[in-house]
Structures are given as C-alpha cells and as structure tokens.
C-alpha cells in the first residue's frame, strides 16, 4: 500500500500519542496482537502506512526540533509508551493567532522565529492531509490551517471543537476544491462522551426512561487548562448535543468539562450520574467515575480517520465524509445514532457511496 502522508498541526500530547502509536503497532501482524486498536487493517492500510511528513507548532521548546524529540518536550506530559527514531521532520513555526489563551501563557514559551509559509511547506512535504490538533480555544488558528490546507491541496481533519467540517460554507469550499473534510471535535476511544452515550442507549434499550443525567470532566494538561478559560461553554454545548442523540426521547442532559487540576497532568477523571424509571415506575440511579490518560484516547479513532480519509483520496471522493465524521467526531455535519454511524462507516470502507 502507498504511504498516508500526514501533516500535524499542534505537537501536543495527542500528537505524541499518535506518533508513538505508529511505532508501537508497526510490527503487529494479527488483530489479536494489536491490543488497543479497533482495526489493525482498514481498507488494506496498516498503521505503519501512516507517515508524518510535516508538523507545525509555536512552542519554543518544540520548534526546530525533530518531531521525534518535540513530542516529548515540555509542556507535553503524557505517557511515553514507545520509542520513536529520528524522523527527519522538523517542527515548523506557525502563526500564534488565538492559539494561546491567558492561562496557557503561564506554561508555554512562544518561539520568536518568523512564521513559515504553511501552504508552501505543506506542498514541499507532499502532505495529503492536514490533521488539526490545536487546543479548543484556537478558533481563528484552526480556520487559518483549514485555509492553508485548501491552498496546498490537502484534505482536512479537524479534531478540535472549532466549527469547520460542520460548517456548510467550509464544506462547499472543500467539495469545490475536490478535497475531503472530516470533523469536528474528535471522540475519545474510552472517553466520557462515548461511554455516556453507550450507557444511555443501553438503559433506553432495556426500557428504562431516563429523566436526568450529567457528565462532568476534570483534567490536567494544557488542553484542560485552555478549555477552562476559553471553551468550557462551547465544549458543553457540543458534548451535550452529542449525548442527547443517544436517547430516542427528550431528557434533561448536561455534559461537559468543569475544572483543571494541575497535578493530574495528562490524566482525566469523568463523573456520570443517571436517573430514570424502570418497571413499575421504580426509581433507579447510577453513579460512576472513569479515570484515563487523555492523549492515548485519540489514537485508535484517529488511526481509523486518517486511513478512511486516505481511502477517500484514493477514490477521488471530495467534500464531507458523513460516515467518517459521524463515526469519529462529536459534532459531525449530520448527527446520527451510534449504530447508524458504525453501519455507514463500515459501508464506506467497503465501497458504498454515501450520497
């Protein structure tokens, strides 16, 4: 299979997990060996077919370093679970724009070198797709990189909660340019949102009438700090709408990030509370806590997304990939149930035309 050439925007903890994951799984030959992956092969592509050819950041401790070293540079603080050889891919200085909020300035050092011409560097690298991993509050910066992707002829994967792949105007522009676009706001593999949706669907399928439920997240790391300052309400809206879609009826739902705790580092604690009525209108309540390391949660889903976007490029498919977005993101252009999204995603991989 040909290589899947990817440019990373934002060399934070999620980027670290993705790059490490390539080397962690590269020798896996059987599905049983690939613990932690939903799919070792997707459309014939293996994780080792993914190649990171370009990377952009603004952090002085990352810019100019090889990507293999930058992913372990402060303020990154996620787990190191795989060794990464030198990649020959220097981290390039992108524009700051709104990429750094007031709270992030206390933990980041902005590189003073001039910004590169992003579109030119994308073309020089041979990148086929741009994966946006910028922090939640970087709305203008996310839009800038989407624009640069269009200029360079790259597909765009928006893992941030900026509304790009779910915006009709952006979608039209990528479709006109003959390029795929997916997003917005990547779903975690074992994150609070997907678990909450599964719990609610299971209860509803069992005949329980859920009346009220909430999901609250507390985490460390730069993403949690940025969310606390700039996108707490936006994230709450996105997560709440995503969770609401799991129920076939209306209920009182609240879901979203609540606070930052520095010593948690890249860990996150999520709390769930569900109340409903079952047989005889008897009251039931469920109270749970999920603890996880945040960055690896992006790995399995993003590996599927990058390979699916490559399949779209191979087939000459442009515009929004509805099935991929519904399968992998909290705010797709078209919301649908978990079962429908899974069915459409499998259909897309197997060659079914979406529209």
Write the pLDDT tens digit of every residue in 113-128: 999 999 999 999 999 9
Q: What is the pLDDT of residue 255?
A: 93
Q: What is the pLDDT of residue 107?
A: 83
With left for phi above 0 and alpha for psi between -120 and 50, is residue 43 left, alpha or beta?
A: left
Q: What is the pLDDT of residue 101?
A: 77
Measured distance CA(91)–CA(81) in Å, rounded: 21
Nearest 5°: CA angle at 116, between 115 and 122? 145
Say whether pLDDT at 355 is over 70.
no
Q: Among all chains, which residue has been given the structure tokens 């990154």? A: 76
Measured distance CA(240)–CA(252) in Å, rounded: 10
Q: What is the pLDDT of residue 165?
A: 97
Say whether pLDDT at 310 is over 70.
yes
**Mean pLDDT in residue range 273-295:** 96
**Token pair recorded at residue 204:** 């509803």
What are the structural domains, with CATH classification, of the chain? 4-187+297-349 (3.40.50.720), 192-293 (3.30.360.10)
Three-state SS at 167: coil
Q: How far is CA 190 from CA 3, 56, 196, 290, 306, in A?
A: 28, 27, 10, 9, 19
Q: What is the pLDDT of residue 252?
A: 97
pTM for the model: 0.90
Q: What is the pLDDT of residue 225?
A: 78
pLDDT digits (tens, 9 = 90+) for 226-265: 777 777 787 788 889 889 989 999 999 999 877 889 899 9
Q: What is the pLDDT of residue 198?
A: 93
**Mean pLDDT in residue range 160-185:** 96
Say whether pLDDT at 187 is over 80.
yes
Q: What is the DSSP letter of 90?
A: B
Q: Which of 220, 221, 219 is nearest to 290 (CA)?
A: 219
**Mean pLDDT in residue range 96-104:** 83
Measured distance CA(105)–CA(22) in Å, rounded: 31
Measured distance CA(324)–CA(12) in Å, rounded: 24
Question: CB under 8 Å to 231, separation ≥6 — which residues?
Answer: 136, 137, 161
Q: Tell me the pLDDT of the chain averaged across its residues.
A: 94
């Amino acid at each position: 299979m040909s290589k899947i050439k990817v440019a990373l925007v934002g060399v934070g903890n999620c980027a670290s997990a993705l790059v490490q994951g390539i080397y962690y799984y590269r020798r896996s030959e059987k599905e049983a060996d690939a613990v932690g992956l939903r799919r070792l092969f997707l459309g014939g592509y293996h994780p080792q077919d993914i190649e990171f050819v370009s990377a952009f950041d603004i952090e002085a401790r990352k810019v100019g370093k090889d990507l293999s070293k930058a992913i372990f540079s402060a303020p990154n603080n996620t787990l190191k679970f795989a060794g990464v050889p030198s990649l020959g891919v220097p981290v390039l200085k992108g524009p700051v724009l709104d990429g750094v909020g007031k709270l992030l300035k206390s933990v980041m050092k902005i590189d003073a070198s001039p910004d590169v011409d992003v579109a030119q560097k994308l073309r020089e690298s041979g990148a086929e797709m741009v994966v946006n991993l910028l922090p939640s509050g970087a709305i203008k910066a996310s839009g800038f990189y989407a624009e640069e992707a269009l200029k360079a002829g790259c597909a765009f994967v928006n893992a941030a909660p900026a509304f790009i792949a779910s915006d009709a105007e952006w979608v039209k522009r990528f479709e006109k340019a003959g390029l795929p676009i997916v997003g917005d706001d990547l779903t975690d593999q074992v994150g609070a949102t997907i678990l909450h949706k599964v719990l609610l669907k299971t209860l509803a399928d069992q005949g329980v009438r859920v009346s009220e439920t909430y999901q609250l997240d507390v985490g460390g790391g730069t993403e949690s700090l940025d969310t606390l300052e700039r996108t707490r309400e936006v994230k709450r809206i996105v997560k709440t709408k995503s969770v609401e879609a799991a129920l076939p009826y209306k209920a009182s739902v609240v879901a979203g990030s609540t606070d930052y705790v520095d010593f948690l580092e890249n860990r996150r604690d999520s709390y769930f509370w569900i109340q409903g009525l079952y047989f005889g209108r008897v009251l039931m309540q469920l109270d749970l806590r999920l603890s996880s390391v945040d960055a690896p949660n992006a790995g399995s889903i993003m590996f599927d997304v990058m390979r699916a976007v490559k399949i779209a490029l191979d087939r000459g498919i442009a515009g929004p990939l509805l099935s991929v977005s519904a399968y992998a993101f909290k705010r797709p252009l078209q919301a649908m149930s978990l079962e429908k999204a899974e069915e459409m995603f499998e259909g897309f991989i197997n060659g079914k035309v979406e529209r």
